[in-house]
Amino acid sequence: MITYKVTVATGTSYYSATNDYIYVTLVGEKGSSKRTILDKWLFNDLERGSVQEYEVESETDLGCIWWVQLDKERFLVEDNWFCSYVMVRTPSGESLVFPCYRWLCHNDSVCIREGQAKRPYDDSLPAFQSHRQRELVQRQKLYRWKVWKPGMTRCIAAETEEDLHPDVKFDNDKRTDFENSLNLALRELFLKELVNMFGTSWYSLECFQKIFWRVKSPIGIYVVNHWKEDWFFGYQFKNGCNPCLIERCREIPKKFPVTDAMVNQFLGGSTLEKEMKKGNIYIVDYKILDGTIGNVIEGKQQYVAAPICLLFQDPQNRLMPLAIQLGQLPGPNNPIFLPSDPENLWLLVKIWVRSSDFQLHQVGFHLCGTHLLGEVFCVATLRQLPAVHPVFKLLTPHTRYTLEINTRARNELLGKNGVISRLLATGGPGLDAFTLKTCKSFTYRSMCLPDNLQDRGVLELKEYFYRDDGLQIWGAISKYVKNIMGLYYKSDRDVLEDVELQAWMKDVVQEGFTELPGTGFPESFQSREELFKFLTTVIFTCSAQHAAVNNGQYDWSCWVPNSPCTMREPPPTSKGHRSIDQLMDTLPDMSQSALQMAITWQLGRPLPNKILLGSFEEEYFTEPDAKKVMVEFQEDLKEIERRIEDRNQGLDLKYQYLQPRNIESSISI
């Protein structure tokens, strides 16, 4: 008999262990070992976090080991098992690692390949080709596309999270935290008594302090002290929760007829033409909100505006609002508001812009721009790439928990009676049309950060930390992708001949984005550069971009007047004095304010058990050259962290959302 030493690692999360029978068989080029039960006398086998060694015997030398077969058989009650990896030490002393990182359920049988990444044409033996095909056939049965809403990206075919396979579901720690987090928010923030006070207005702006006193966010406190100031209003377009909309203005739009006479005093005697040539005039246009039907909450009509805002980068590098129009069509009932207007009126107009920004941020740049896009990449990866494929190994860490969080969001946030319908002005009857418009606004080019920034003309915008930090992260990801994928794709021909890779891209475009023609995604890869750029875009979207638009939700929205989730009175159609009572009647009521704080806290808080960008807790790549590239990526992220930390030392308001220590590797919240 020939003896192989087999080390089996069980997952570390709760309920990873099992009491069921687990058998292992080594399959090699010269035959198979004995089917061996993983059971050591007087030991508790396969406990949570355990790494245990067993002996597996074979009548002959197996030669090159092709795969490890794991079989699970029920003992008394169903008891799933999470296997992290298997390591085999051969009689010659060679050690082979077989990454697994999956659940075995019911009477599962899985065959896991050794960790070296293999493209389809690397597997010349029929047995390997058959193994790849069987794996994909099985996965394509488990992970199917469905239409969520006509005209939008397709999603995973699951009505609830219970329909998902355990491999893509939350672990127990994550599930418990998520399901208790909203009640925890209401309790932590002392908001429970206010949630049911619908229709009750606050008496004054100061009354919002009643729900703010428990806030522990330094940025939130800064917001309270500065939210009325014009420079701070402008700052949020650069480094707030939605830094993705601002554009350089090269020509004043005809629909927004701002004149020099209106704004000359705010330009220090200069003109719009001169300042536009200098690159100092910027614009934010919420045209995508035009025509959106306002929600009706508890029988009360809510209101939506589609404002346009012109801003001036002054000599102190502050972005100062020059003029605001609250609708898209100029006219006597849609005046252009100016900083010289009565104080309460100007404040109300800015609040309207901030409310519109809240709508577009939540539904557009957060939901459509990260969550729905990330789900398409995740589903296609599961359906078209076997576990041994290098792109599967590259992308899997960036798909963790995405399918469950999106499935829950469709039911708990976006459903008929979900939080969005109860909270946002754009919820309810207008939500589908608004979401459809925002989905259609995203293109491949808009997802590529360098192209996006160039197209928006913001490369020279001062103190734009989202851009500065984002480009550093993009550069590090791009270098990582090129170096690690360059190990497997040495030429453009290697890319062209990878049929699984081409099928993956085809699935992304023809299935995931089939309802959205014209997005500009390549339907196939013709070169290494095309592949590397697309993979960089996928990883950036699922990590850094999501961090930029998710992590600051509570910071910028906990002071409700700064980012109102809804507006309860129509936008002003004329100039003149506005009383504080009129402001309070327009802002969210007590119930809406409490829910806004709780939801943004739930979604934007630091999460337990999160895996950061560059933290390879699950090691899919096992080759020394690939591991070297991963270490280089980690070092690059540490250097970016240091540079951002040094920059932030000199800032009163620190931009931290794109510090690597705050970037989760996937969309999990």
Q: What is the mean pLDDT of residues 390-411?
A: 97
Query: Does the pLDDT of residue 214 top 70, yes or no?
Result: no
CA 572 to centroid of chain Cα atoms: 35
Q: What is the pLDDT of residue 514?
A: 94
Q: What is the mean pLDDT of residues 33-44?
A: 87
Q: What is the pLDDT of residue 595?
A: 85
pLDDT in tens, 505-553: 999 999 999 999 889 999 999 999 999 999 999 999 999 999 999 999 9
CA 26 to centroid of chain Cα atoms: 39
Q: What is the pLDDT of residue 522?
A: 93
Q: What is the mean pLDDT of residues 160-178?
A: 92
Q: What is the pLDDT of residue 594?
A: 83
Confidence of residue 212 (pLDDT cuts 50, 70, 90): low
Averaged pLDDT score across all residues of the chain: 94
High-pLDDT (> 70) share of the chain, %:
97
Q: Residue 93 is which amino acid?
A: G
| Chain position carrying tokens 């522990």 | 216
Yes or no: say if 604 and 627 are a contact pair by the CB < 8 Å rule. no
Q: What is the pLDDT of residue 81?
A: 97
Distances in whole angstroms, Cα of residue 347 to Cα of each of 11, 134, 168, 344, 362: 54, 62, 46, 5, 23
Residue 48 in tokens: 């949570």
Q: What is the mean pLDDT of residues 14-31?
A: 95
Q: What is the pLDDT of residue 228?
A: 97
Distances in whole angstroms, Cα of residue 511 to Cα of each of 248, 376, 505: 35, 9, 10
Q: What is the pLDDT of residue 182?
A: 66
Q: What is the pLDDT of residue 42?
A: 61
Residue 245 in tokens: 């909309």
pLDDT in tens, 80-99: 999 999 999 999 999 999 99
Q: What is the pLDDT of residue 181?
A: 74
Residue 159 buriedness (CB in 10 A; 0-12 / 13-18 / 19+): exposed
Query: Does the pLDDT of residue 185 top 90, yes or no?
Result: no
Query: Does the pLDDT of residue 196 top 70, yes or no?
Result: no
Q: Pairing relation of β-strands 51-58 and 36-37?
A: unpaired
Q: What is the pLDDT of residue 338?
A: 98
Instruction: Give the single-character DSSP code of 322.
Output: E
Q: What is the mean pLDDT of residues 621-640?
A: 98
Q: What is the pLDDT of residue 192?
A: 52
d(C-alpha 482, C-alpha 504), whole Å: 19
Q: What is the mean pLDDT of residues 404-425?
A: 92
Yes or no: say if 57 and 84 are a contact pair by the CB < 8 Å rule. no
Q: What is the mean pLDDT of residues 201-217?
A: 73
Distances in whole angstroms, Cα of residue 316 to Cα of each of 231, 652, 664: 10, 15, 34
For residue 84, how many other CB atoms are within 10 A of its CB? 20
Rg over alpha carbons for the chain, rounded to the nearest Å, is 27
